Structure 1
Amino acid sequence: MQLLALILYNADGRTRRLDFHPGALNIVTGESETGKSALLTIVEFCLGRDANLVPVGPISDTVAWFAALWQLDSSGGRAFVARPRPAKGKLSTTAAMLEFGTNLEPPPLESLHTNIDSRQLRQQLGRRIGIEENLVEPGPGSLRYAFEANIGHAALLCLQSQSEVASQTVLFHRMGEDGIDQALRDTIPYFLGAVAPDQARKRAQLRDAKRSLARLEGEVERAEQSAQTIDVELGALFREAQSVGLVEDVQLTNRAELIRVLQGARTATPVEESLDSPADQDRYRALETSRDQLRSQLRLVMDDRALLLNEARATTEFGVALAKQQSRLTVLGLLPDQTQAAGDEDARESEAAAENSECPACGSHMDEPDPTAEALRRSLADLNVEVGNIAGARPGHRQALADLETRAESLREELRVAQAAVQDIERGRRVSEQTQADSRDFTRGRIDATLSRATLTDDVALEVLRQRLRQAQETVEALAAELDDDSNREELTSRLVVVGRDIRTYASQLQLEHSAEDVRLDLAKLTVVADTPTGPAPLSRIGSAKNWVGYHLATHLALHRFLTLQNRPVPGFLMLDQPTQAHYPSEKDNESGVPEDDADRIAVRAMFELMRNVALELAPEFQIIVCDHADLPEEWFNEAVRYRWRHGEKLIPPDWLES
C-alpha cells in the first residue's frame, strides 16, 4: 500500500492535487510555513485517525474535504479515502468515505459522501493489505482489554513528524501519548511475523478446549463418586420402594437386578398390604435392629478413637516432660557422654568408678564415690530408652487412628441408609392412603433421578468419559504448545537481530557514533541501543541531534526493509518531516535549501543518498516521502523532487485565500 495522491477539496469545488510516485523517493522541498508538515497530518487523517490536527489557518479555513488515493497492489487495485473537515468547534470526526476499484480516480466534490466510519475504515483498509483477524491479549494480571491490531497501529511505523525525527527519547510516531507506547509493544511482534497469523483463532480454541476440559473433569469426578456410592443408594432406594409398596418383599444385592427391579417399579402397580401386617412389622423390626446394631458398632469405634486420641495426647505430654528432663541432665555437663556402646559394660563401670572419685561439682578428690552421679547417669539412660519407645509408637497410633476414621465413615453411611428406611416406614404409618400415593410418586421420581446417574457409573460409560477426558487434555496440551510464549520470544528476538544488523549498516554509512558496535532495537523500552564495551548506550545517552536523526532514519529504514522483504501487512511507505533540521541552523540555509557548512552538506547528502538507495533496492514495493528544507543540486535529487514550494508557492493556492 503506497500513496498515489493527496487531494484537497475547496468548498466551491476547486481541488489541489499532489501526486507521488510509488516505489521511489519523493521529496517535497520548500521554505518554512508553506504547508509541508501538514502533509503528514493529512495522510494520518486519511488512514483513519479521528483527530484532524492540521494547523489553524489557511488550511483549516479553506479545505472542506481531505482525500488520499492509495495503490493497494501492483495489479491496479486502488482505494480512495475522503474525510470531511470536522464540524466547527470540534477537533475530530469519525465520518469517512471509502471506495475500492481498479485504476480508480478521485471524484469531484459533488460526488463525495460519507459511507463508513473511521473504525470500519481502518478495518477494511487493513484487510486489503493483509492484516488478518487477530487479537492482542495483554499478559496475565493486566487490567488492559484485548484489542485487534489494525492499520492505525501499522501507521505508527510509517510516520515521523518534525518533533519526533530529531527526538532522543521518542523513536516511533505518537509514542509519547498515553497508551500508544504499550500498543506499539503489543503490535510490533505481530507486524514482524513473530506471532502466528492464526494465533487469535488458536487462543480462542484453547479457551474453548479448557472450558470443555473443566466440564469433563467435573463429569468424570461426579461419575467416579457415584460409582463408589451407587450400590448403597440403590439398596436404600430399593428398601424405600418396598416401604411404599412399589416392589415385592424380596432380598436383592446384585446391582443389575436392583436396577431391573427399580426400572419396573416406576410403572408397577403398588402392592396392597396392611400397615399392620406381620410382614411389615417384621421388616420394620429388622430395620430397627440393623440400625441399633450399626449405632452400637459406631459408638464402639468412636470410643476406640477417643481412647487413641487421649492416649496420643497423654503420650505427647509425657514425651515433652521426658524431653525436658533429658535436656536438664544432658545440659548440666557433669556427666560423661552417654553415646558409647552399651555392650562394653565393664569398661563403663571402671571408667565411672574412676570419674566418681572426684566431685562432679568442684573436681576435688573424694575418698568415697558419690552415688548421685551414677544414679543420674542411669536415669538419663532410662530416659533415652523411654523417649525412643514413645517416638517409635507414634506411626502405629496414626495408622490405627486412620483405620478407625475409615471404619466410622462407612458405618455412618450405612446408618444413614438404615435410618432413612426406618423413617420411611414410620412416615408411611402416619400418613393416609393419599399421602402414601404421593410418597410413591416421590419415590418414583427419586428412582428416575438415581437410575439416570446409575448409567454413568457403568464401567463402559465411565471408561468412555475417561477417554473423552484424555482427548480433551491432549487437545489443550497441543494448543498450549503451539502458543508457547517462550517460542514467541525466540521468534521475536530472531527478527530484531536481523533488523539490528541493518541498523548498524545504515548507521555506519551515516557515520554515526557507536555505529561500529552492535546496535539493536530494544522493543521493551522502544529505543535503539548500542552495546558498547562499557555497557549499553540507549539513544537518550547518545549525544548530538545529528546522531538522533541518523538513528531514527537508520532504524525506520531497517525496519521497513525487513517488513517489505518478508511481505508483512504494513503500508509500504515511510513519511519523514524535516529529517535534516539539525543541519539547517540559519534561516538563510532554510531559504536556499543548501547548508553553508561543508560538514552539514555532506551529512545531508549522505542521508538522502541512503534513502534513495533503500528505495531503489526495495522498488517497486517501498516508497519514501520526505518533506524538508533541503534542495540539493545533484541531478538524482532534482529527479526525486515532486514539489518545490519557494517564492510564494505553498500547499494552499493563493486564489483560495483571496476568495
Structure 2
Amino acid sequence: MTRWNVREIAFYGAGARRRTIEFDIDKVNVITGASGTGKSAIIDAIDYCLGSKDCRLPFFVRGHTVAVAVHWVQGDSDLIVGRKIPESGSGTNQMFVRTGKHLRLPNTSEGLEGPTNRDTARATIEKSFGIQDTDDPAVAAKSEKGRASIRDVTPYLFLSGGIIINRETLLHDLHRPEKARDIKATMPYFLGAVNQASVLAARRLRQLEAALGRIEREAKAQERSQGLLTQRSIALLTQAEGIGLIAELPSADASDQILLNQLRSVAENGVSTPASRDSETRAALEDERRQLVSELQTLREKRQMLKRTIREAAGYGTAVSGQSHKLKLVEHLKLGDGRCPVCDAENAAGLAMAEQIRNSLTIVADEVLAVDVMRPRLDDHFGQVENQIGSRSGRLREVEAQLSGLLRVEEESAGAGSLLQERARVVGRIDQFLETTARDYETSSTNTASLESEIENLRDQVDPQARRERLRDAENMVSNFATDMLADLPTEVPATGARVVFSSAPSLSLIEPTQRAVLAMAEVGSDQNYLAMHLALSFSLQKLFETMRAPVPGLLVIDQISRPYYPKGGDEKRLKEMEKDDDQVAMQKIVRFLFEETARRAGLQVILIEHAYIEEDPEYVAAVKGRWTKASGVKLIPSDWPNRN
C-alpha cells in the first residue's frame, strides 16, 4: 500500500468500554443503516482527530464517550491519533500521537500514548503524511498564504451529506469563509504546481518586489524634484543677496548641498537689528509705566484714607477733652465728703454721684491718652505715603520721557525699518523651505544591486510561468479524468455526454454536447447530475494525487450516494423500495462505479455511509462493515453505554 488508509476508529466510554470499527485497506467499506445511529459521526471523528479546532461529534456521542482514536496505516507504518472528547464547547487542546510499526489501539482511553498539544500533534501528522517539506518557521506560520497544513486535506477526503448533491459548493468546508481562503490558497500545492519551499520563495519575492518598487518610486520622485530644489534654492539666495543678508551668490555650478548649507547659514544668523532691541526696550518701559500708574493709584487711595482718619481722630480728641474739663468742675463741689454743698448736711446721694463722676473722668482720661498716642503715628505713616507718591511720580515722569524719546527714534528710522522687515520675511521663507520642502528632497540613496540580484534568483525559483503551466496541466488532467468518469455515472440532460472543465479557483463547469454551451455548476440542475459531478471530481482528484504522489491520504468518505433516490431519514432502504426502475438501475450503476474505480486506484480506500442495503450486489454485501438498523438496535455508540457524568 502506497497511501495512508484508516485501519480502525475507536470510541472510548466510561468503565473501559470501547467501540471499534474496522475497515479494509485499499477497498470499499460500507456502513449502512437507519438515521440517527451515528453513521455520519465517522466523518466528524476523523476530522476531529486531524486537529480541527471544533468538535462536531453529535450530542449523544459526546455525552457517552470520553475519547476517540483513529488508526492510520501505510504499508508497515502506523500512525495512531487520539483525542479527548469534551461534553460541550470547542475541541480540547490535548491530543495523543504515536508513530511506529505494528501499533495497536489501546483498550481504554488511558492507554493512549504520546500526549501533546494540538499544534505539535498537527505538525507530527503533517510530517507523517509528507505535507511539511521545509523547516523554515516563516512557512510554518499558518497565516502564510499558500502554506498547506493537515487541515487543508479534508476537502479531498470527505464528500459529506451537505456537499454531495450541493449545486453551489464544490468541496467539503468550501462554503465556510474562514476555510475557503486556505482551500483556495493551498490547492496549487496539492495539485503539484508548487511546493512548500516555493511558497516561502514566493513570499520573500513579494516582499522584495514591493521594497524595490518603493525605492524606485522614491528615486524617480527625487529625480523629478531635484531641478525644483536647485531653482528654489537659487531664488531664495538671490533674494537674500539683494537685501544684504549674504555678500554674493554661490557659483553657477554649486551643488545642491552647497546651496542648502548657505541657506542654513542665513537661517541660523537670522536678523539682529537696533530696531529689534529698541522694540524690546520700549516693551519693558511700557510694562514699567503700567506698573507705576497702578502703584500711584493705590498710594493715592491710601493717602486719602489716612487724611480722613486723621481728621476724625482730631475731632474725637477735641470732644473728649471738653468732656474731661466739664467733669473736673465737679471737683469744686466736694461731693466726696458726703455733705450737701449748699446746706452742708450729710448727703448719701451726693456721695454715689461723686463716685460715678470719678469713674467717667478715668475713662475719658484714658481716651484722651489714646488719641494723643495714635496721632503722631498716623502723621508719620501719612508722611511715608506722601514720600512714596513723590518717588513713584518722579519715576513715572522719567519713564514717559524715555518712551517719548523712543517714539521719536522710531519715527526717524521708519525708512530703515522697511529693509529690516524685508530681511525678516526672507529669513522666514528660507526657514520654511528648509523645514519642509528641502527635507522631503533629501532621501538617502540605496544600493539596489543586491536586492535586484536576490529578486532574480527568487524569480528563477518561483518561476510564475512554470507554475501556471503546471497548474494548467493539473487542471486539464482533472478535467479529462472527470469527463471520462462522468460518462460512467448516471446523468440527465445537460450533463449526459458533457465535458467537465475544472479550475483551481476552485470551480467546475460543464460543456454540454449539443450547443457547446458552457454551463456553470448551478445551471446544470437535477440532484442526480450534482451527485455524478461531485463523485467524478472527488475520484478524479484522488487519481491525480495518486499519479503525482501528493501528500493526501488515499481516503474518500462518502455520505450517502442514494440521496437523489430515497427520501431523507428513515430506516435502512432496499433497492426494490425505489419506485422507479430507472432509479434502481442508476443506483446499481453508481455502486459499480465506486467498486471499479476504487479497484483501479492503488492505495485508495472508500468508506461509504449509506441508508441503502444493495443485497442484489454480492460485492456490496461483502463490503458492509456494519448494519445499524432499527430492528437490530445496533448503533455507533451502544444504547446501554452510561452517560459520562
Using the size of structure 1 for normalisation, the TM-score is 0.59
Query: Could you tell me whether the CA contact under 8 Å between 1:133 and 1:200 is conserved in 2?
Result: no
AA in 2 matched with 1:35: G
Query: Could you tell me whether the CA contact under 8 Å between 1:34 and 1:650 is conserved in 2?
Result: yes
Shift of 1:124: 1.3
AA in 1 matched with 2:612: A
Shift of 1:588: 8.0
- In the alignment, structure 1 residue 94 sits paired with structure 2 residue 96: no
**Matches of 1:654 and 1:418, distance apart in 2:** 94
**Matches of 1:82 and 1:151, distance apart in 2:** 15
**Matches of 2:200 and 2:114, distance apart in 1:** 33
Q: Does the C-alpha gap of structure 1 residues 147 and 485 become closer, same or farther in structure 2, counting only changes over 3 Å?
A: closer
Residue of structure 1 in register with 2:239 after alignment? none
- In the alignment, structure 1 residue 607 sits paired with structure 2 residue 590: yes
AA in 2 matched with 1:97: F
Residue of structure 2 in register with 1:15 after alignment? 18
Residue of structure 2 in register with 1:656 after alignment? 641
CA displacement, residues 162-207 of structure 1 (integer Å, 9 cap, x when unaligned): 1211211122112222222222111111111111342134246647
Residue of structure 2 in register with 1:173 after alignment? 172
Shift of 1:510: 0.9
AA in 2 matched with 1:601: Q
Q: Does the C-alpha gap of structure 1 residues 411 and 211 become closer, same or farther in structure 2, counting only changes over 3 Å?
A: closer
AA in 1 matched with 2:573: E
61-70 or 470-479: bigger deviation = 470-479
**Matches of 2:146 and 2:127, distance apart in 1:** 16
Shift of 1:473: 2.5
- In the alignment, structure 1 residue 49 sits paired with structure 2 residue 52: yes
Find the partner of 1:298 among 221, 243, 249.
249
Q: Find the residue that maps to 1:15 and give its secondary structure.
A: strand
Q: Does the C-alpha gap of structure 1 residues 598 and 658 become closer, same or farther in structure 2, counting only changes over 3 Å?
A: farther
Moved over 6 A (4+): 134-138, 207-217, 413-419, 586-589
CA displacement, residues 519-571 of structure 1 (integer Å, 9 cap, x when unaligned): 11233253444466363212211111111111111110111110111100111
Residue of structure 2 in register with 1:537 after alignment? 519
Query: Could you tell me whether the CA contact under 8 Å between 1:504 and 1:515 is conserved in 2?
Result: no
Shift of 1:489: 2.6
**Matches of 1:502 and 1:493, distance apart in 2:** 14
**Matches of 2:545 and 2:137, distance apart in 1:** 19
Q: Does the C-alpha gap of structure 1 residues 489 and 594 become closer, same or farther in structure 2, counting only changes over 3 Å?
A: farther
- Listed as ranges, the matches of 1:468-487 within 5 Å are 470=449, 472-487=451-466
**Matches of 1:524 and 1:574, distance apart in 2:** 22
Shift of 1:296: 6.3
Aligned residues: 436
Query: Could you tell me whether the CA contact under 8 Å between 2:93 and 2:118 is conserved in 1?
Result: yes
**Matches of 1:215 and 1:528, distance apart in 2:** 41
Residue of structure 2 in register with 1:325 after alignment? none
Shift of 1:653: 2.6
- Listed as ranges, the matches of 1:511-550 within 5 Å are 511-512=490-491, 513=493, 514-524=495-505, 526-530=507-511, 533=515, 535-550=517-532
- Listed as ranges, the matches of 1:105-504 within 5 Å are 105-109=104-108, 110-112=110-112, 115-133=115-133, 146=145, 148-203=147-202, 206=205, 298=249, 404=252, 406=253, 412=259, 470=449, 472-504=451-483
473-482 or 15-24: bigger deviation = 473-482
AA in 1 matched with 2:191: L
**Matches of 1:4 and 1:645, distance apart in 2:** 20
What RMSD in Å do the two structures reach over aligned CA positions? 4.1
Give identity over the alignment, percent: 23
Q: Does the C-alpha gap of structure 1 residues 553 and 298 become closer, same or farther in structure 2, counting only changes over 3 Å?
A: same
Give the gaps of 5 or more residues in structure 2.
221-245, 267-444
Q: Does the C-alpha gap of structure 1 residues 171 and 410 become closer, same or farther in structure 2, counting only changes over 3 Å?
A: closer
Q: Does the C-alpha gap of structure 1 residues 658 and 503 become closer, same or farther in structure 2, counting only changes over 3 Å?
A: same
CA displacement, residues 412-435 of structure 1 (integer Å, 9 cap, x when unaligned): 58979999xxxxxxxxxxxxxxxx
CA displacement, residues 34-66 of structure 1 (integer Å, 9 cap, x when unaligned): 221111111111111122212222x22221111
AA in 2 matched with 1:80: I
Query: Could you tell me whether the CA contact under 8 Å between 1:9 and 1:65 is conserved in 2?
Result: yes
AA in 1 matched with 2:67: W
Q: Find the residue that maps to 1:172 and give its secondary structure.
A: coil
Q: Find the residue that maps to 1:107 and give its secondary structure.
A: coil
Using the size of structure 2 for normalisation, the TM-score is 0.60
Query: Could you tell me whether the CA contact under 8 Å between 2:145 and 2:182 is conserved in 1?
Result: no
Shift of 1:149: 1.4
Q: Does the C-alpha gap of structure 1 residues 478 and 34 become closer, same or farther in structure 2, counting only changes over 3 Å?
A: same
Q: Find the residue that maps to 2:89 and give its secondary structure.
A: coil
AA in 1 matched with 2:467: N
CA displacement, residues 78-100 of structure 1 (integer Å, 9 cap, x when unaligned): 111111111x4424222211111
AA in 2 matched with 1:7: A
**Matches of 2:256 and 2:475, distance apart in 1:** 64
Give the gaps of 5 or more residues in structure 1.
139-143, 222-294, 302-403, 420-464
Q: Does the C-alpha gap of structure 1 residues 586 and 572 become closer, same or farther in structure 2, counting only changes over 3 Å?
A: closer
Query: Could you tell me whether the CA contact under 8 Å between 1:98 and 1:121 is conserved in 2?
Result: yes
